[in-house]
Structures are given as C-alpha cells and as structure tokens.
Amino acid sequence: MWRNSRRLTSLIWRRKKGLIIGLTVTLIITGAMPFIVSGVNGLFINNLVNVAGTGNIPQGLVIITFVLALLLFIRPLANTLHGYVDRLLFLSNEEVFVLEVVKKSSEIDIAVHESPRYNNLLNRVEEQGTWRAKNYIDRLFYLIQDIFQVLLAVIILFATSWKLVFVVRLFSIPELIVEAKHGQVVWGIDSSNSEAKRRYWNLKSHFQRKSDLSELKLFQNTHHFISQIRELYSKFISDQYKAEKGRIGSRALALTLSQVAIIGCIIFLAIHVVKGGLLIGTFTFLTASIWELRSAISSAFNSLARQYEDDLYMTDLIEFLDIEPKVIKPYNGIRLDPNKTPAIEFRNVSFVYPDTSNNILENISFKLQPGEKMALVGVNGAGKTTLVKLLCRFYDPTEGKILIDGHDLKEIDIESWYHHLGVLFQDYSHYYFAVKDAISIGRTSTPATSELIQNAAKQSESDMCIEEWDKKYEQGC
C-alpha cells in the first residue's frame, strides 16, 4: 500500500504542489480544531463552576469566553476553506489520472491491446482505475488527518490514564479486520469476473452504436442480447449482495464492542469526578477527546480498509502504467523523405502471434515499387490483415525482414513512416466531429485550411454529398 500511495501521490505532486500543500495545512487545522474547542470549553466550564453563585465575573473568564466565541466563529470558516481546497484537488486528481491513462493507452503497442493476457488488466483499469485512483488519493489525506487526530487524543488521554488509550484502541481493532476482509472479498469478486465483465461491456456497447442496433433489430437479436446482459449483471450483483450480507453482521459486532469500551471509559472518568479527582470541565474535555479518538480510529480503520480494497486496483493501474513496449522504436531512427514514395519489400517474412504456435504468415516475399498497386486476396484468416499490421509495425516479424527503401523497418523513425501510410481497417473508428474536423483529423500535424479540407473531400468524391447538406462542412457527423 505504501509503494502505491507514494507512486500515485508523486504523480499529483508534480502537477499540483500548491493544492497538496494547501490541503495538508487545512487538514491539520480542521483536525486539531475539535480538541482546541473542547479544551477551551472545558476551561470555560471549570471557571464558570468556580464563580457560580458569587456574582463576580473575573477577567480570566471573560478572556476564555472571548477565545471560545472566536474559535466557534473560526471553525466553520476553516471547514469551508478545507472543503473548497479538497474539492479543487479532487477535480484535479481526476484530470491527472484520466490524462495519464489516456496517454499510456496511446503509448502501448497494439500488440498489447490485442493480447488476451493483458485484456483483463486493461478492462479493470478502464472500468475501475481512474475513479478509484482519485478516491484513493482523496482518502489518503483524510487518513493522514485521522492519524493526526489519534495522536492528539492519545497524548491528551495518556496524561490522564494510559488504560483509557489501551481500551479504546484494543476494542477498535475488530473494525479494521472486518473492513479489510471485506475489501479483499470485493476485489476477488471483481478480479474473478474480469472476463465476464469484458463480455458484459461488449454486449452493452452494441446498443450504443447505430450500425450495431440496426443489425440487432434486423436479425431479431435484441431480446437475446438483453437476456445475456441481464444474466451477467445479475451474477455480479448477487456476488456483491453475498459479500455485503456477510459484512453487516461482523461490522455490527465490531461496533458494539467499541461502543462498550467507550461507555466503560466514560464511567471510569465519572467515578473520578465523584471522588473529587476530576473537575467537571476537565471531564467534558476528556470525554470529548475519547469520542474524538474513537471516531478518528474508526475513520482511520475504515479508510485503511477502503485503501486496502482500492490498493488492489491501484496495483493494476500501476502495472498498466509500467507496461513496457514490445515493439521498440529506434533511437534517432532513419527519417524518410516525406515527398518521395518509398519502395516496400517483404523478405522471407514469417509471423506467429504472441502466446500462440500457428504460423499466420510463412516465408512471404514480394516487392512493391513506387506507383505500383497490389491487391491481397484470400479467405478469412489467411493473414491479409496481419500482413498490413506488420507493415504498420504493430508487430515485428517472427522471422525475415520488412524493408522500406532498403532499410529494415525496425530502424526507421515510425512517425516518418506513418506519414506515408493511409490505412482503413475493417473495424474503423467513427468520430463524432463536424465534417471539416473529421476530414482534417487525417493529418493533424498540418494546419487544416478550408482549401486543404475541400481538396481532400474532392479526391475522395465525398464533396458532392457534403455540398447538399444544410451546414455543408460544418455539419455534424
């Protein structure tokens, strides 16, 4: 947990130092405020009892009253400021983690995205990673505040009797055990259902795309898909219900034990008051400190349990962020001339997908000179798409070489190579942009002018239908 906390906090620290410092300061102030207020209130009560019935108002009582009133005024303001800073950091955390995941997704090889071995990890990160990460960091700061409050309460109560501290802390431990065990169960449910969840999200996605919906309706498969979604979802929920049901009884017992300990401590202090060993104001201060200790310990244990649960997901997130590329880009690779069409040669190329044993391509050789055209024809699974993926260097050949203008593709700067490629796979992306933006996305490195966009539309022969639309190139698509 410490390793993951340090790693994720460092990500936030590099980008939001001021907010982290501000939140830490407000956490300390709001964490100490209950003890300061209850301590001054105890002094107020003690002084008030001393002068009760005398008719005198000593200067000390006036000062204490003024300080107490000032603290009661400052406390809600401090809480408001803390809430504001906390909210800013919470929103910033979402920005940081979403961008980190998106950036890493763009850096990961296509080979990794297509690997069954990594699919479960990618699915868990996509579904759970970012929102749990921002909660994880937010909760970490509250855990620090809880620990700070526990230390303050321990110092205060230890000065009266170490037994008070021992009893409260001992009877709070069952809560930690219950919550930690529950967190492990929840992660286990989610982890064991990763493949089923991936199928669930895939089935659900078919109801979000117009083309898929058309097929579902035409083939009369809507009820069949809904039935499968319902079945998968019911399984997730039933496992969660069982986990929650198992937790509630244990948690109720743990809370009962801790409350019994608190009651025992209050009775212990009350006996001291009766015997004259403790003033009324001091009694109220100590009982308030006991409740603060109990609350801080309970909150800390609950946060630790939630951190433990989320930490399992954070391990997934960090593993995702640490994925190393399988296709290594060359340092200072050969840059191709952007104005010259290169020659392509496959020389004795064979390829086997990772974690499989069947050759998809075997000893393929051909040359394609600038200006030549070639069609790849074959049955499904013959390796046509695989050959294009190798040409895009999504994978490296298992054997043989791909030469571009006589240079091994592994030695060429990949961005300069992509400048020459225009690829449309079977599963192409649909961008919900205006027409002009959808066209210009093909070359975002070049400033998109109206002339270039319209020229591209004419070359693709789409300009005639675009001109018929009301908003033409501003039309949404």
pLDDT greater than 70 at residue 227 = yes
**Mean pLDDT over residues 443-467, rounded?**
80
**Mean pLDDT over residues 173-193, rounded?**
67
Q: What is the pLDDT of residue 344?
A: 93
Q: What is the pLDDT of residue 176?
A: 67
3-state secondary structure the chain: CHHHHHHHHHHHHHHCHHHHHHHHHHHHHHHHHHHHHHHHHHHHHHHHHHHCCCCCCCHHHHHHHHHHHHHHHHHHHHHHHHHHHHHHHHHHHHHHHHHHHHHHHHHCCHHHHCCHHHHHHHHHHHHHHHHHHHHHHHHHHHHHHHHHHHHHHHHHHHCCCHHHHHHHHHCCHHHHHHHHHHHHHHHHHHHHCHHHHHHHHHHHHCCCCHHHHHHHHHCCCHHHHHHHHHHHHHHHHHHHHHHHHHHHHHHHHHHHHHHHHHHHHHHHHHHHHHCCCCCHHHHHHHHHHHHHHHHHHHHHHHHHHHHHHHHHHHHHHHHHHCCCCCCCCCCCCECCCCCCCCCEEEEEEEEECCCCCCEEEEEEEEEECCCCCCCCCCCCCCCHHHHHHHHCCCCCCCEEEEEECCEEHHHECHHHHHCCCCCCCCCCCCCCCEHHHHHHHHHCCCCCCHHHHHHHHHHCCCHHHHHHCCCHHHCEC
Which of residues 193 and 420 earns the better pLDDT score?
420
Q: What is the pLDDT of residue 84?
A: 92
**Mean pLDDT over residues 113-117, rounded?**
74
**Mean pLDDT over residues 222-233, rounded?**
80
Round the average pLDDT of the chain to a whole number and report it.
82
Model confidence band, residue 403 (pLDDT cutoffs 50, 70, 90): very high
**Mean pLDDT over residues 5-23, rounded?**
86
Model confidence band, residue 107 (pLDDT cutoffs 50, 70, 90): confident
The share of the chain scoring above pLDDT 70, in percent, equals 91
Model confidence band, residue 363 (pLDDT cutoffs 50, 70, 90): very high
Q: What is the pLDDT of residue 180?
A: 67
pLDDT greater than 80 at residue 304 = no
pLDDT tens, position by position, 309-328: 788 788 888 888 888 878 88
Q: What is the pLDDT of residue 317?
A: 86
pLDDT tens, position by position, 249-264: 777 777 787 778 888 8
pLDDT tens, position by position, 60-92: 888 999 999 999 999 999 999 999 998 888 888
**Mean pLDDT over residues 191-207, rounded?**
70
